[in-house]
Structure formats: structure tokens, C-alpha cells
Amino acid sequence: MGHGIDTERDFHLGLEMAWHRLTKVLPVIRREDFPAVERLPLFYALPDGQLREWTGTTVPVSLDDGLPVGVSSGESYGEFSPRDAFDHVGKVLAGTRYTVSSAGMIFNRSRWFLSVDLDELRDVSRQGEKFHLVWSGGLAKNQSPSCNLSHVRAVCANTVRIAREQGDALFSARLTRNFTSHLEAAQSEIERAVGMARVFNLTLGALEQTPATVDEARSVYAGELAEAGADLASGRSRNALDGMVALFQRGAGNDGRTRADVLNGFTEFYGRGDGGQSRKDPFARWTSAEFGSFADRKAAFASAVAGAAGWDRLAATGRDALADARRGAVAV
């Protein structure tokens, strides 16, 4: 799947230029920046030229160019246009301060997306960390409307897919007669998401208060590598271990003093996708690091070092694995 901005009708609006370089940069993204979409009746032509309405069947049409943006459907199919989504964001987030940072329509306007940044999430985000609420949906029965909490700001088809598949789903519902009731439940889900972010960052705060030495960091990293099946006697594993220890000491925001630095060193290393050693293209490395196998390892590592039992387990495993590697080197 590419970026999806494939026709002259497709567009991306943002407060800054996105990676695909197709962004129309605006100081503020407003509801009116989306075209109005309405369901209009369908007509068919008889051989003698008469037009007759196809009763009970409509098609969504973008009123700025008069062209369809979806497929025909009967009255049982609900409606949730991009402007409807924008209105819903305002309703659900009433009383909070937020910014629509990205919006667009893709695949010949058959799908839409909105990325929203909440001040509440910004307040609990740590240095280098970002949370976004991503609303997205389709107009051609091709994508149910949803809202996801994601570290990715949606700017194209690829990032919408990642937010929907890997983000925390706050709601997702098919466009049926009961769709409105699902929308009304979104407020509590968003409050839950903010609470989850706070809990996550309280955990990191506790790690920042717990000292860690270089030797402890090396043992814990070695324990994770050993549990992942790495041979610590190999040059590749030694390089990975040295790279993580270096990031523990001098990585972004690190000074090699706390368990938070241990966690940050590990996540920064694998945030590069195999520590930057992979031969995959940059986007594939980033996807793997943030949402693939390395993402799973980062999550498991964070869970382990957040508790005394997990930390002690990794440290003990690492010390044993390092001792075995040294014995093997001496034997050779």
C-alpha cells in the first residue's frame, strides 16, 4: 500500500510537511477544508432517454466537483462523512484543548482521516514521545469509521493502516443504524486512553528514580539478547550489546545513571530497526522497529525492567550468558 494520494482529487493537509512531500501546509486545519459530501439519489436512463430515480438507493457525492466518493447503497447504510467526523471530534473533545494536526482524503476520496493532538496527552508525554488520536473511515463500504490512540500521526494510507492495526482502538463501528450509539461511547474511551498514558509514564518516572550501573545495564541487555536466542560469543551480538551500552550512557536524553536510561538505550537501539544493521529500506526498518518483531521485544523488555522480578531475571540470565561466552572464547 502506498501513500494513497493518487489522484488530483486526493489531498493531505498538515501543519508541517509530511514525508511524502505532498502536504498542503496550513496554519490551522478547519472543518471547511474537507469538501461537503452528501448522499444523492441515483437515476437510470431508459432506451427512449427518460430518466427515472432508483428509489431508495443513493451515492455519496463530493459537492465541490460533483463526483462520487463512494458506492451506491440502500437506506440501511449509515453516513459518516469527513465533516461529520470533524464535528464528532469537536463534540467528544468538548471542554479540552486540542489541535487537528493532519487531515486528508485518499484513494480517489473514498477514504478519509484526521489526526488530533490532545493537550492532556502532550502533558503526560515524555521527551521524544508523542501520542495522537487518529480518526479514519471510508465512504465506499471499504473501511469502518474508527478512532485509535497511536504514536503515529496519520498523513497517508500507510500511516492510517499502521494506526488502525497497531494503535489502541478506542472505537470502531460499522455504518449501521446503531452507529450513533458507538460514537456516544467514545468519550469514556478517550478518557481511558489518557489514563493509560499517565500510568505508562508514571512507570517510567519510577525507573528514573532507580539507579543502574554500566555493568548492570550490560547484564540486563545480555539477558534480553540471550532470551531472544542470540549467541553472545558472536561478533554481531557483541556489537549489539556494545551499541546498547553506549546508548545507555550517551543516547538521546541518557547519561547512564538510571533504569530509565537502560530502557531508553534498548528502545533507541531497536528504534533504528535492528540497531541500524538491517539491510531493509528505511521505511521497512522503521515499521519493524515500531510495529513489528522489534516492537514486541521493546514492549516485553519494558514490562520486564519495570518490575524487580523481571529486572533480576534478565540480569541473572545475562551474567550467565556473558560468563559462558567468555569461557568459550578462552577455550578457543
* 190 & 214 share domain: no
Q: What's the domain count of the chain?
A: 2
* 171 & 62 share domain: yes
Q: In what order do the strands lie in the sheet with 51-62?
A: 37-45, 51-62, 67-68
Residue 159, domain member (yes or no): yes
- Taking only the tens place, the pLDDT of each residue in 224-252 is 999 999 999 999 999 999 999 999 999 87
- Taking only the tens place, the pLDDT of each residue in 252-310 is 778 899 998 998 899 888 865 444 444 444 444 334 444 445 667 877 888 888 888 99
CA-CA distance, 249 to 212, in Å (whole number)? 11
Residue 205, domain member (yes or no): no
Which of 15-19, 191-195, 295-299 is modeled with the greatest confidence? 15-19
* 249 & 137 share domain: no
* 52 & 131 share domain: yes
Q: What is the pTM of this model?
A: 0.58
- The Cβ of residue 206 has, within 10 Å, a number of other Cβ atoms equal to 13
Closest by Cα among 1, 2, 295 to 166: 295
Per the CB < 8 A criterion, the answer to whether 245 and 265 are in contact is yes
* 65 & 115 share domain: yes
Residue 203, domain member (yes or no): no
Residue 242, domain member (yes or no): yes
- Taking only the tens place, the pLDDT of each residue in 116-151 is 987 766 665 656 567 788 999 888 877 888 888 887
Residue 4, domain member (yes or no): no
Q: Which of 147, 162, 195 is a domain's end point?
A: 195
* 91 & 223 share domain: no
Residue 61, domain member (yes or no): yes
* 221 & 191 share domain: no
Residue 310, domain member (yes or no): yes
Range of the domain at 307: 210-331
* 75 & 190 share domain: yes
